[in-house]
Amino acid sequence: MAKDKRPERPRAETPRGFRDYFGAEVSERKAMLDTIAAVYYRYGFDPLETSAVETVEALGKYLPDVDRPNAGVFAWADEDEGWLALRYDLTAPLARVAAQYRGDLPTPYRRYAMGPVWRNEKPGPGRFRQFYQCDADTVGAGSVAADAEICAMLADALEETGIPRGDYVVRVNNRKVLNGVMEVAGVLDPADPDRHARERGIVLRAIDKLDRLGEDGVRALLGKGRMDESGDYTEGAGLTAAQAGVVMGFMAAKRATGAETVARLRELAGASAIGNEGVQELESIAELLDAQGYGPDRIVIDPSVVRGLGYYTGPVFEAELTFEILDEKGRPRQFGSVAGGGRYDDLVKRFTGQAVPATGVSIGVDRLLAALRAKGRVQGDTRGPVVVTVMDRDRMADYQAMATELRRAGIRAEVYLGNPKNFGNQLKYADKRNSPVAVIQGGDEAARGVVLLKDLALGARIAAQASHEEWKSQPAQSEVPRAGLVDAVRRLLGSA
């Protein structure tokens, strides 16, 4: 019967789609967030931190490609507050804040925010349900100067995190131009904007997938629909070949220079009032950026950028890394998008009924960090603490005093707190921590008023290269007076 009494143990696992970050992974991300935040701050943006939890109604439903209930969010019924949910981005909470504090905030309100967001998506390899974003938005500025500023700031932020000029490009487009094209193609009627809304949604998502599906895949989605490799069928927008041709022409409208691209867009969408307005805005953005020195080596007009989210109303932007990395199978591939954003003039209006212009950008911090790691451009501090070993359990206070002295001198240090019986385990521990120096004092050393210092970094180099004679002479171990501990350790660290 003993078997029946054995308690059932919980599984020690994160839920699928979630993961843990250890040591340097945490500090490297923090350093990156700090760098980006400093750029945003320098541009006049103020920090804002909203809570992870919002009401479902405040968040709204704007996620693309939702294969889950609750429109892709993690949601639950609260006893007092109705349905609550984890935020899926940092933009929806900003819209709520802009509405809630509209009398108190400066106009325009520039804010930055950083933190995790959650998506209730089907977990898959490399697809996480919690990830970091680092956003900057300007609420209350209708001028495209605000959009241009966001694009310039995005370029600055990428460069300061370690992506050199030439390794990235910020692509800019305008939803209004796309709407103009839709009008020309006959799937947008300015007199009845709700008509064809479903078709336009499919067109939008299809264009957003150009990278992944290629031209034929997109054309299938614009027409009857598309069956993917797994046999799943995605319904198409039902456009005729002629209509689809107009849309495909828009996506291919990029020319050698911004001016030529603008001219081509004017040909395609200039017949529509909204399309013409969009082209005009793109032209202004390009002029403003040019005047500030952000030329096409950094920021380009590219009609293939549309962004999947449903709430954009004007300029949209996307930052793409242009270098190749090796994927998990060793094949070279473009790294792709690490940031995106755009103008969303109607999000605040949802709450207040009054139009409030807004524009902003979101940097996908985890992807950007992965890119920098892939290029070997992250210099994480992986050196562990100095480890004070324990030779004599009864003199723990002496060992603690050594660690305390080292710390007071600004040196990261700790006493070994495992079972001290096996000294080899203590050195193995120091190795595992990547400790640069081990401090050793047995009864003999204590009596003589000295400590032994083991230079573990040097020891590792010697072990890799040295002859047996060199090894035996133990150059990596030295004896110093107890009173000189801090200075001696500092010398070893300096030379490490």
Restricting to residues 336-365, name those near a second copy by CB under 8 A.
350-353
Nearer to a second copy, 333 or 393 (CB): 393
Nearest to 276 by CA among 141, 178, 171, 145: 178
Q: Contact with a second copy (CB under 8 A): which of 43, 323, 423, 471?
A: 43
Q: Residue 343 and residue 195: Cα distance in Å, rounded?
A: 23
Interacting residues with a second copy between 185 and 214 (CB under 8 A)? none
The reply to whether 383 sits near a second copy by the rule CB under 8 A is no
Q: Contact with a second copy (CB under 8 A): which of 278, 303, 384, 459?
A: 384
Name the residue with tokens 């691209």: 261
User: Binding segment for a second copy among 99-107, 173-181, 185-193, 234-242 (CB under 8 A)?
Assistant: 99-107
DSSP letter at 92? H
Nearer to a second copy, 83 or 323 (CB): 83
Nearest to 316 by CA among 117, 121, 171: 171
For residue 155, what are the CA distances in angstroms to 29, 62, 400, 495? 19, 26, 49, 38
Interacting residues with a second copy between 274 and 313 (CB under 8 A)? 287-288, 291-293
Q: Residue 21 and residue 202: Cα distance in Å, rounded?
A: 37
Strands 168-174 and 315-326 come out as: antiparallel
The reply to whether 75 sits near a second copy by the rule CB under 8 A is yes
The reply to whether 228 sits near a second copy by the rule CB under 8 A is no
Nearer to a second copy, 76 or 475 (CB): 76
The reply to whether 138 sits near a second copy by the rule CB under 8 A is yes
DSSP letter at 124? B
Name the residue with tokens 């120096």: 437
In 3-state terms, what secondary structure has residue 13? coil
Nearer to a second copy, 44 or 484 (CB): 44
Q: Residue 269 and residue 279: Cα distance in Å, rounded?
A: 8
Count residues contacting a second copy (CB under 8 A)?
103
User: Binding segment for a second copy among 20-28, 159-167, 271-279, 476-484 (CB under 8 A)?
Assistant: 20-28
User: Binding segment for a second copy among 123-131, 193-201, 214-222, 437-445 (CB under 8 A)?
Assistant: 123-131
Burial of 420 (0-12, 13-18, 19+ CB in 10 A): middle
For residue 86, the minimal CB distance to a second copy (Å) is: 8
The reply to whether 71 sits near a second copy by the rule CB under 8 A is no
Burial of 446 (0-12, 13-18, 19+ CB in 10 A): middle
Interacting residues with a second copy between 391 and 410 (CB under 8 A)? 396-398, 400-401, 404, 407, 410
Nearer to a second copy, 49 or 487 (CB): 49
Q: Contact with a second copy (CB under 8 A): which of 21, 197, 355, 487?
A: 21
Q: Residue 263 and residue 283: Cα distance in Å, rounded?
A: 10
Contact mark string toward a second copy, 48..67, x via CB under 8 A: xxxxxxxx-xx-x-------
Rg (the chain; Cα; Å): 29
For residue 392, the minimal CB distance to a second copy (Å) is: 13
The reply to whether 489 sits near a second copy by the rule CB under 8 A is no
Nearer to a second copy, 220 or 485 (CB): 485
The reply to whether 315 sits near a second copy by the rule CB under 8 A is no
User: Binding segment for a second copy among 24-32, 212-220, 270-278, 295-303 (CB under 8 A)?
Assistant: 24-32
Nearer to a second copy, 16 or 461 (CB): 16
Q: Residue 322 and residue 341: Cα distance in Å, rounded?
A: 18
The reply to whether 385 sits near a second copy by the rule CB under 8 A is yes
Nearest to 342 by CA among 104, 67, 154: 154
The reply to whether 107 sits near a second copy by the rule CB under 8 A is yes
Nearer to a second copy, 372 or 430 (CB): 430
The reply to whether 81 sits near a second copy by the rule CB under 8 A is yes
The reply to whether 123 sits near a second copy by the rule CB under 8 A is yes
Nearest to 481 by CA among 456, 449, 455, 453: 449
Q: Residue 229 and residue 231: Cα distance in Å, rounded?
A: 5
Nearest to 317 by CA among 207, 209, 169, 172: 172
**Neighbouring C-beta atoms of residue 357, cutoff 10 Å:** 21
The reply to whether 1 sits near a second copy by the rule CB under 8 A is no
Q: Contact with a second copy (CB under 8 A): which of 36, 63, 97, 301?
A: 97
For residue 428, what are the CA distances in angstroms to 368, 401, 403, 413, 451? 35, 23, 19, 16, 20
For residue 433, the minimal CB distance to a second copy (Å) is: 6
The reply to whether 412 sits near a second copy by the rule CB under 8 A is yes
Token digits of residue 322: 């242009």
